A and B are shown apart, each in its own frame.
Chain A
Amino acid sequence: RKEVEQDPGPFNVPEGATVAFNCTYSNSASQSFFWYRQDCRKEPKLLMSVYSSGNEDGRFTAQLNRASQYISLLIRDSKLSDSATYLCVVNLSYNTDKLIFGTGTRLQVFP
């Protein structure tokens, strides 16, 4: 089983739609969780950290369920510029900066 699993997609949605991505992780000892965004042929960029209580940043909402080892990302009012691959990322320990990446979910927003 992969350490971090995501549906690869692609998710094709119209502008203005709401779309949700899910992610599961296998190591129950994982401590920190993130969503990164990666554009084609570019490096990943941090979109947001994911906190236990859930957190929101504009149109983006992240949720964490430690009991189910499940992370989600909700994007409201999708924009064309949201088209990218969204990577679910897990850090196993507070004592290390090593990150484990999911395979990513591809989002394509169309006009």
Chain B
Amino acid sequence: GAVVSQHPSWVICKSGTSVKIECRSLDFQATTMFWYRQFPKQSLMLMATSNEGSKATYEQGVEKDKFLINHASLTLSTLTVTSAHPEDSSFYICSAPANARGFHNEQFFGPGTRLTVL
């Protein structure tokens, strides 16, 4: 199957700092990628859709100025958590459809990034 990587796998930072998370499709191109957040014992919540070459689409309630998304190339999307606070501590996961041609494809998930803000 297709492979999606994320970096870093975990990060601990002080409150007020910004953290960048990378999501890469390793063996396929993805014009669309998705960013999710998962709090303990809760489900994955879609935060935004990352679109290569255009602005990301954010879900209701997600602050676009807080969670900056840049889809720089067909294999890379980045999520930057700006001025992180303890309530931003969570498991952040990205995914990419294996063949983003406008109809549903199997999605492949990155291994996730565990963010802890002190």
A and B bind = yes
Residue numbers of A with Cβ under 8 A of B are 8, 31-32, 41-46, 87, 91, 94-104
B104–A97 CB distance below 8 A: yes
- 5 A-B contacts, Cβ less than 8 Å apart? A41-B112, A42-B111, A44-B44, A98-B46, A99-B34
Interface membership of B27, Cβ < 8 A:
no
Interface contact A98-B102, CB-CB below 8 Å: no
Task: Tell me if B109 and A97 are in contact (CB < 8 A).
Answer: no
- Given the interface pairs A97-B97, A98-B34, A98-B46, the reply to whether A41 lies near B104 with Cβ below 8 Å is no
A93 CA / B49 CA spacing, docked (Å):
15
Task: Give the distance in Å from the alpha carbon of A104 to the alpha carbon of B39 in the complex.
Answer: 13
B16 to chain A, nearest CB (A): 26
**A41–B102 touching, CB < 8 Å:** no
- Cα A100 to Cα B45 in complex, Å, equals 8
Partner of A95, one of B49, B93, B97, B103: B103
**Bound: A45/B106 CA distance, A:** 10
The answer to whether residues A43 and B112 also contact, given A97-B32, A97-B100 and a CB cut-off of 8 A, is yes
Known contacts A102-B43, A103-B42, A103-B43: A97-B111 contact under CB 8 Å: no
Chain B contacts for A43, CB-based, 8 A: 93, 109-112
Which residues from chain B sit less than 8 Å from chain A, CB to CB?
32, 34, 36, 41-46, 49, 91, 93, 95, 97, 100, 102-107, 109-112, 114
Q: What separation, in Å, do the CA atoms of A32 and B105 have in the docked complex?
A: 10
CA distance A101 to B46 in the complex (A): 9
- 8 closest Cβ pairs, A-B complex: A43-B109, A103-B43, A97-B97, A101-B44, A101-B43, A43-B112, A94-B103, A32-B104
Tell whether, in the assembled complex, residue B103 and residue A104 are in contact, meaning their CB atoms are under 8 Å apart: no
B84 to chain A, nearest CB (A): 20
Q: Complex: how many Å from CA A94 to CA B49?
A: 16
Q: Which residue of A lies closest to B111 (CB)?
A: A43
Given A43-B112, A46-B107, A97-B32, 11 more pairs with CB closer than 8 A: A31-B104, A32-B104, A42-B112, A44-B93, A95-B102, A97-B105, A97-B107, A98-B49, A101-B46, A102-B43, A104-B43
Residue of B nearest to A46 (CB): B106
A45 contact set on B, CB distance < 8 A? 109
